[in-house]
């Protein structure tokens, strides 16, 4: 902690004791032991019980945001009711009121937690200090904590290596940071809240990435991602941005851990394959089942394969309804009668009986033996050879015409049945300008396009906001075509805020970060007659200058002290004016000095260039003329007493 952070608090229950901060008159702050995205963690001492604790304090730049305030308080509420050896315990909560350099003070909530002396799994993974056996043991500890919290109705929603600690002294696992935990009964607890991502992209479950309601199986997916990283030293999915990683969680299948680390057994591969299923119904349904599978895999027993009839389902595989109407059945209607050549050269005109079978309408055997026709027609006499020839010609013509019609109909039916499917209709490129990056990506995915992100500086569009697409919106493309999404990196140059002088060092660094600048790692101190200690005097480059984004800005912070000037040889008036200009209080003492002009300073209480506190009293010695020497008086002549007596 720097000097500015040790300034006295502005509440009666937060008083400085021995130059240290004491919260609520009970918790004495120690050194900084961790820093997260929204809070700082200090070691501390519970002076009432005499035990070491960890105190988590919300950062000043986050304290003004109601969403972070609610998330911080929800962490205490979520864990307060959980009492498990693998979950960091919450002892107490409170608030402190501090000044951040603005006109109003800020109320910073804090949480008093169990102090865990260990390392996070993130540190162990980066140091490659996790064996396969240890990875299984650590995961079993995490699953034990999750099983307990899930029974209590709490979903963690942010399981990751940075939120799990290993305590070597007790050989135990501690799960912490329930800052975005939610009750399972809260149906509104989705991944997105006011267009902001809640959680860490590398460990998001597919349902969290899609913004759906989470449950206990979402935590088990994140725990599987944690185990995957311990086995392979990398998360299951890696991308250029959190959005691309979240998209991989939804759409892509991770590589088996054994393909990255050959020491991973095939049994562990089957456990990971089931734990990382996209559909939560295909994963382990509770933490206990996950634990049993891990213990079995340690003994070489694989997770049974899912039967083909119960193959895992992908919630993303939606088969769209066909655009064209169902294929209609085609049928050729037959005529009511057919003309056939009857045996023995007889002509038979056939039709359909009531049962649908072909039946003769009339039959002629020999001339003169014709029977009455069922249709009531009178019998005809035997046709002449010329009539027979003409009839045969008509019959042949009718047969050929019928064959041609049937052949044409068959060809038409064949062409219809075997006609290639029409190309899919083109899609319009939607308007995504002024949207956030995640919203623009979702809009393009919904339009059945494949976005590719490019980033560029833009002085008019804020950082992280979409500038537009290439091709531009309104044009038509084939489904699945690639579209370039141009995202703004913000302005190429920004002004150093002129409000930085007069604020605390911590507040100044937060302001620089918010505008895209970086505070120098080391702080330059300087004496000042008017600026209190710990307050920024100026910056380098100076406030108001335009610099490139990401430029390192040096902060000049006041020491609260003043360098004593050389006063000897000056007149009294000059010395007093010089001290008052520096905020020092002159104390003039006159001393007789016959060798120095009267009214000149002959000595000063503090050495030249000595750093003294603002407002200190400086004693100066001013020469005073010595008094003049006394004037000599004449000595009277004594008279003789004897003469006097004689005269008498």
Where in the sequence numbering do the catalytic residues fall?
Answer: 158
Peptide bond into 471 cis (omega under 30): yes
Distance (Å, rounded) from C-alpha 578 to C-alpha 566?
Answer: 9
Is 468:441 a contact under the CB 8 Å cutoff? Answer: no
Q: Is 426 helix (H, G, I), strand (E, B) or coil?
A: coil
Q: Among all chains, which residue has been given the structure tokens 């250029």?
A: 240
For residue 339, list its beta bridge partners: 349
Is 618:579 a contact under the CB 8 Å cutoff? Answer: yes
* DSSP letter assigned to residue 136: H
First vs last C-alpha separation in the chain:
106
* DSSP letter assigned to residue 26: T
Question: Which whole-number Å values give the CA distances from 44 to 25, 52, 60, 160, 576, in the listed order?
Answer: 13, 6, 19, 26, 48
Is 374:362 a contact under the CB 8 Å cutoff? Answer: yes
Distance (Å, rounded) from C-alpha 37 to C-alpha 441?
Answer: 25
**Strand 536-540, strand 552-558: pairing:** antiparallel
Positive or negative, the CA dihedral 491, 495, 499, 502 is positive
Has 174 been labeled as part of a binding site?
no
What φ, ψ does residue 508 adopt, rounded to 5°? Answer: -65, -40
The three state secondary structure string of 47-98 is: CCCCEEEEEEEECHHHHCCHHHHHHHHHHHHHHHCCCCCCECCEEEEEEEEE
* DSSP letter assigned to residue 539: E
CB atoms closer than 10 angstroms to residue 346: 11
Binding site residue list for ATP: 56
Binding site residue list: 56
């Amino acid at each position: 902690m720097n000097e500015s952070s040790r300034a006295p608090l502005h509440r009666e229950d937060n008083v400085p004791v021995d130059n240290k901060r004491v919260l609520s008159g009970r918790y004495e702050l120690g050194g900084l032991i961790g820093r997260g995205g929204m809070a700082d963690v200090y070691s501390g001492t519970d002076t009432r019980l005499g035990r070491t604790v960890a105190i988590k304090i919300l950062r000043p730049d986050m304290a003004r945001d109601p969403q972070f305030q609610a998330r911080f308080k929800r962490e205490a509420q979520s864990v307060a009711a959980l009492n498990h050896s693998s979950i960091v315990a919450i002892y107490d909560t409170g608030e402190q009121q501090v000044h951040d350099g603005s006109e109003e003070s800020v109320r910073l909530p804090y949480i008093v937690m169990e102090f865990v002396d260990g390392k996070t799994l993130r540190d162990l993974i980066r140091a490659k200090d996790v064996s396969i056996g240890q990875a299984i043991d650590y995961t079993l500890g995490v699953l034990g904590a999750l099983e307990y919290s899930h029974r209590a109705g709490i979903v963690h929603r942010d399981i990751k290596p940075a939120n799990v600690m290993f305590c070597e002294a007790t050989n135990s696992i501690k799960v912490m940071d329930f800052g975005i935990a939610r009750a399972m009964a809260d149906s509104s607890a989705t991944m997105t809240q006011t267009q902001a991502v809640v959680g860490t992209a590398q460990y998001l479950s597919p349902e969290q990435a899609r913004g759906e309601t989470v449950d206990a199986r979402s935590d088990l997916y994140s725990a599987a991602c944690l185990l995957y990283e311990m086995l392979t030293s990398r998360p299951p999915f890696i991308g250029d941005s959190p959005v691309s990683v979240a998209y991989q969680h939804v759409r892509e299948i991770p590589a088996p851990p054994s393909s990255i680390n050959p020491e991973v057994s095939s049994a562990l591969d089957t456990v990971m394959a089931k734990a990382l299923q996209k559909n939560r119904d295909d994963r382990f349904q509770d933490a206990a089942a996950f634990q049993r599978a891990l213990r079995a895999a340690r003994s070489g027993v694989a997770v049974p394969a899912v039967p083909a009839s119960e193959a895992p389902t992908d919630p993303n595989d939606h088969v769209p309804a066909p655009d064209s109407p169902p294929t209609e059945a085609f049928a050729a209607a037959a005529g009511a009668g057919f003309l056939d050549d009857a045996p023995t050269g007889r002509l038979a005109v056939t039709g359909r009986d009531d049962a649908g079978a072909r039946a003769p309408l009339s039959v002629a055997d020999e001339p003169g033996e014709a029977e009455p026709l069922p249709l009531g027609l009178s019998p005809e006499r035997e046709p002449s050879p010329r009539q027979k020839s003409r009839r045969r010609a008509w019959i042949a013509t009718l047969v050929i015409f019928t064959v041609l019609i049937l052949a044409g109909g068959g060809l038409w039916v064949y062409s219809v049945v075997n006609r290639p499917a029409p190309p899919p209709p083109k899609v319009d490129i939607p308007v995504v300008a002024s949207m956030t990056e995640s919203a623009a990506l979702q809009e393009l995915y919904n339009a059945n396009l494949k976005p590719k992100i490019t980033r560029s500086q833009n002085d008019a569009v804020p950082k992280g906001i979409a500038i537009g697409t290439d091709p531009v919106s309104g044009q038509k493309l084939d489904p699945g075509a690639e579209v370039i999404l141009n995202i703004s990196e913000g302005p190429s140059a920004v002004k150093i805020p002129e409000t930085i002088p007069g604020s605390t060092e911590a507040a100044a660094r937060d302001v620089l970060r918010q505008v895209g600048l970086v505070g120098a790692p080391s702080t330059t101190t300087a004496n000042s007659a008017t600026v209190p200690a710990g307050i920024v005097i100026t910056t380098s480059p100076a406030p108001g200058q335009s610099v490139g984004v990401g430029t390192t800005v040096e902060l000049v912070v006041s020491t609260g002290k003043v360098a004593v000037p050389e006063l000897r040889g000056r007149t009294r008036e000059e010395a007093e004016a010089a001290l008052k200009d520096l905020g020092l209080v002159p104390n003039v003492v006159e001393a007789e000095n016959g060798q120095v002009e009267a009214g000149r300073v002959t000595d000063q209480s503090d050495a030249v260039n000595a750093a003294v506190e603002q407002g200190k009293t400086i004693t100066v010695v001013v020469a005073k003329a010595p008094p003049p020497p006394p004037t000599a008086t004449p000595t009277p002549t004594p008279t003789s007493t004897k003469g006097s007596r004689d005269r008498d």
